[in-house]
A and B are shown apart, each in its own frame.
Chain A
């Protein structure tokens, strides 16, 4: 055989030393199942359809390609497109009369019927995203994964880099991980960036803006330990912390302003103001996951996450997947997820006339409120004898806010102030490799 490189630089020697053995944890994505090896590309694809009852619908195809480009060195490319249509809560509360809002662009209006949660139905967006990862041995039992990502929407641009290091120690029973990431995003809202807590003008008035675009950065660091417990169990514990800086406000979200008379009536002429959030957010995450295979070859995958930040948000997430394997390559995997979050300090369902001039921050975005999310789903998969897989997943997601109507002002007590949400998810996936496609095509010509 011919050697590709004639010079053995120290880097090459190091790479040779990085044992091309069955690493379990580092570079785990290619241990078992279909493998990107030699000239073979591993191809994973999925189509997601996500629809909320009376609200947004999302169609998102994903394609992931992996290849071993050199000994134990892999490249992964993920291409994502998504199309979003439908309506999203704009932050205003329901009223006993129809409400009319100016669209973000300022070019038209939309009207919400009485006693219903105001939804901005002008949402239509498409996104394209590309993620490239290079996974390579760096030394004895040390791997590095370096990634870059790019995502573009008509009003949002995101670019980022990440580096992950995984060191196997303790005869490969333990893996220590260090992850670093940096993201830089630019938002260019329709009609410009609204000035926080200024009034949404009545059409054809023009909102006060602070330029046409704003930036934000996100830095994150992660420390992790993965431990093999026994022949059929492993556990992971991660601690991460992150910091977001810059424009963290949602430029399309507003708050309702009430009269200062306890009636719960909307303020006369200018009842809505744009939301405003702090320009920094520091958060920390503890994440634990355990994977265990039972003697009957079923697999339990359980995780818990505790998240907390300096906006006052705290959340607990429990995620459980249990995979039943059946003869002939079929499997069924039920999924349960429970999420509970406390509200941000500046979350307000409504403001009282005048408060918008005294408060620094306020948001009525339901995602910053106190709520729970419950997910129940099931995935069916079929593995062909050659390793290819087909799968189908159906899930139901329900979000329920804490009912605060008893504390609400005046006639708002009769309204549903937190917009509960019900969503359905359908996902179909296919995994195969390029050899299978080539063999199939060649078979057609035989």
Chain B
């Protein structure tokens, strides 16, 4: 089930990469903005993850590393 999902996602991603108009190096001004980064505010994300890690049974997904605490 997971493998199928990943396969489908992979095919989807590569198809979209082919059919989409490429974004040229000189057209990447918007994508270079801080607010367009996947993690636009690393400290805010760190603090959120710390809170929810100690209040919920799920954590992670966005990346690995960062360390544990005795709060869970």
Contacts and interface: CB of A to CB of B under 8 A. Distances in A.
A/B contact in complex, CB under 8 angstroms: yes
A313 B57 contact: yes
Interface residues of A, number: 105
B11 to A, nearest CB: 12
Given A46-B47, A174-B13, A232-B36, 7 more contacts: A24-B28, A25-B38, A34-B34, A170-B17, A173-B22, A315-B56, A341-B56
Nearest to B47: A48
Interface residues of B, number: 52
A313 B58 contact: yes
Nearest first, the 10 closest Cβ-Cβ pairs linking A and B are A162-B65, A156-B70, A33-B34, A287-B61, A149-B67, A307-B58, A179-B64, A181-B64, A158-B68, A285-B61
A218 B68 contact: yes
Contacts of A368: 57
Contacts of B20: 229-230
Given A32-B32, A46-B47, A238 B62 contact: yes
10 contacts: A78-B46, A149-B65, A151-B69, A156-B69, A162-B64, A162-B65, A183-B67, A236-B38, A339-B58, A423-B55
Contacts of A238: 61-63
A179 B63 contact: yes
B56 to A, nearest CB: 6
A382 B9 CA distance: 38
Interface in A129-160: 129, 131, 147, 149-151, 153, 155-156, 158-160
Contact of B61 (A45, A307, A423): A307
B60 A240 contact: yes
Given A222-B63, A237-B13, A127 B69 contact: yes
Given A44-B42, A341-B57, A183 B68 contact: yes
Interface in A118-134: 125, 127, 129, 131
Interface string A42-67: 00111010100000000010101000
Interface string B1-20: 01001100110010011001
A227 B57 CA distance: 29
Contact of B65 (A44, A45, A164): A164
A318 interface: no
B16 A227 contact: yes
Nearest to A161: B65
Given A164-B65, A181-B65, A425 B56 contact: no
Given A315-B58, A429-B44, A31 B37 contact: yes
Nearest to B51: A50
A179 B42 contact: no
B71 to A, nearest CB: 8
B61 A62 contact: no
A171 B25 CA distance: 9
Interface in B20-41: 20-23, 25, 27-28, 30-41
A237 B31 contact: no
A32 B37 contact: yes
A180 interface: yes
